Amino acid sequence: MINKISIENYKAIRSLEISDLKRFNLIVGRNNSGKTSILEALFQSINPGNAALLGKINRFRNLNLLSPNTWKNFFYKLNTKLEVSIETELEIINEKRIIKITPIMKQNQLLIEKENKNGIINGDSSAGLNKSIDGLNLDFKIFRNNHEDKFHSKIISNKDLPTNLELGTYIQPFIYENDESYECPTNGKFVDPINIFDALGDRFSKIVIQKQKDEIIRRLQKIEPELSNIELVGSLVYADLNYEELVEIKTMGDGILKLFSFLIDIIRNKNGILLIDEIENGLHFSTLNLVWKSIFNLAYKYNVQIIATTHSYECVKSFYNCCDETSDSTVNIQQDIRVFRIERKEEDNFKAIKYTASNLEKALERDWEIR
Q: Band of the pLDDT at 150, cuts 50, 70, 90?
A: very high
| Degrees, nearest 5: CA angle 201-202-204 | 65
Q: Among residues 183, 200, 221, which one ends one of the domains?
A: 183
pLDDT single digits (tens) 277-322: 999 998 888 899 999 999 999 999 999 999 999 989 999 999 999 9
Q: Is 95 in the same domain as 224?
A: no
Same domain, 135 and 205: no
Domain that holds residue 166: 48-183
Percent of the chain, pLDDT > 90? 67
Over residues 84-105, the mean pLDDT reads 95
Q: Taking residues 8-29, what's their average pLDDT?
A: 96
Residue 208 confidence (pLDDT): 95
pLDDT of residue 251: 92
Same domain, 33 and 175: no
| pLDDT at position 172 | 76
Which percentage of the chain shows pLDDT scores above 70?
A: 87
Residue 257 has pLDDT above 50, yes or no: yes
CATH number at residue 340: 3.40.50.300
Q: Do 238 and 289 fall within a single domain?
A: yes
Same domain, 143 and 217: no
Question: 216 with 311, same domain?
Answer: yes
Within this chain, do residues 294 and 340 fall inside the same structural domain, yes or no? yes
pLDDT of residue 124 exceeding 50, the answer is: no
Identify the domain boundary among 141, 168, 183: 183
Residue 65: other Cβ atoms inside 10 A: 16
Residues 135 and 85 in one domain: yes
220 neighbors 259 (Cβ within 8 angstroms): yes
Whether residue 37 sits in one domain with residue 72: no
Give ∠ CA 342-347-353 in degrees, rounded to 5.
20
- 183, 216, 235: which is the final residue of a domain? 183
Does the structure show a pLDDT above 50 at 122?
Answer: no
364 and 250: one domain?
A: yes
Same domain flag for 204 and 137:
no
Long-range contacts of 248-257 (CB under 8 A, 24+ apart): 249/200, 250/197, 250/200, 252/224, 253/223, 254/282, 254/283, 254/284, 255/223, 255/282, 255/283, 255/284, 255/287, 255/290, 255/291, 256/220, 256/223, 256/224, 256/227, 257/197
Do both 210 and 163 map to the same domain?
Answer: no
Q: How many domains does the chain have?
A: 2
